[in-house]
Structure 1
């Protein structure tokens, strides 16, 4: 099983990604006022999770089926 990419921040509800778990990662700045775009393993993984459903939907499934 692959190690988690994220870690919970102590004393906070947020998360962080240690460099050794990030995998390939790059940031591309768009010219002329465009958005900054992120690419890489973490982004691909996040997209796959989002394809499964929203956080709320996944929490409801977890509660329904009792999985941790």
Structure 2
């Protein structure tokens, strides 16, 4: 014998339970935990700091063509 569960008869009870569970979860998240905990998992990429030394020399070409008039200054 097959048993048919009466889902349509208890749908309003299940909707109420769903609303209570979702609402309770949202209240707990925002009032107890003070919002979402994004943590480190949501920070993508690399976090590195580099320091570049100043240029040791400046090389400038003072002519428009060729390598005739280069000047090097510290």
> TM exceeds 0.5?
no
Choose 1 or 2 for highest CA Rg. 2
More helix per residue: 1
TM-score category, normalised to shorter length: under 0.3
Of the two structures, which has the highest relative contact order with CA contacts closer than 8 Å and spacing of 6 or more?
1
Q: What's the TM-score once normalised by structure 1's chain length?
A: 0.22
> Which of the pair is proportionally richer in strand?
1
